[in-house]
Amino acid sequence: MRLTKFGHACVRLQKDDRTIVIDPGSFSEAGAALDGADAVLITHEHFDHFDADGLRAAMAADPRLEVWTSRVVAANLADLGGRVHQVGHGDAVTVAGFDVHVYGEDHEILHPDVPPIPNTGFLVDGEVFHPGDALTVPDEPVPTLCLPGNAPWLKVPEMFSYTRAVRPERAFVIHDGLLNDIGLTVMENAVGAAGKELGKEFRRIKPGESVDL
């Protein structure tokens, strides 16, 4: 499988001649990410993960393209009928030839007085876990973790606790689109230290960079 980052929280996974894209949001060069894709997974409705106009345009251009997502995003796209599939925690589905297990129910807290929105993380082919905006720990091994590097809901100690709980073989940073060069350096140092304490290599991959798993 090949993983390619398309900015912020968006990754593209390719296996043989099949391709799925996770969280093509407004910071993510969504048009390029979705070009030729067979399916899209969307963790939740925030604009940095879900670009409704961009996704609709891609689906209009390619009648084969289908979406698996949380109930709120599915409701937003309800006019697209059977091409949109609602999934939730505990579901196991086959998407464009990939086995996808769904983990997690809620977004991390953004405001003390506002209930969290739904958030669905996706473990693809038992290899890559994309948690969306939540620190969800699947109940099965995670060889490759898409690790949130920065967010209004995330502190560095929480990131350390999360990697200790998941204990992935490797981690590649996502959710870094809000950082300038100084912030990226600080974040990369923290991510590297989290990997070092587990004896693993954790790092940030840049937009457009690919890794073979």
Domain CATH for 31: 3.60.15.10
Return d(Cα 25, Cα 27) in angstroms, integer: 6
Tens-place pLDDT, residues 7-32: 999 999 999 999 999 999 999 887 78
Task: Put the strands of the sheet holding 11-15 in their side by side order.
Answer: 84-86, 66-69, 39-42, 18-22, 11-15, 2-5, 210-212
Domain that residue 169 falls in: 2-212
pLDDT at 90 over 80: yes
Q: What is the DSSP letter of 106?
A: B
Q: What is the DSSP string of 11-68?
A: EEEEETTEEEEE---TTS-HHHHHTT-SEEEE--S-TTT--HHHHHHHHHH-TT-EEE
User: Could you tell me which residues are beta bridge partners of residue 67?
Assistant: 40, 84
Q: What is the DSSP letter of 113?
A: T
User: Could you tell me which residues are beta bridge partners of residue 121?
Assistant: 103
Q: What is the pTM of this model?
A: 0.97
Q: What is the mean pLDDT of residues 170-179?
A: 97
Tokens, residue 51: 């670009």
Mean of all residue pLDDT scores within the chain: 96
Tens-place pLDDT, residues 29-62: 877 899 999 999 999 999 999 999 999 999 999 9
Domain count across the chain: 1
CA distances from 6 to 86, 93, 190, 192 (A): 24, 24, 22, 21
Tens-place pLDDT, residues 152-174: 999 999 999 999 999 999 999 99
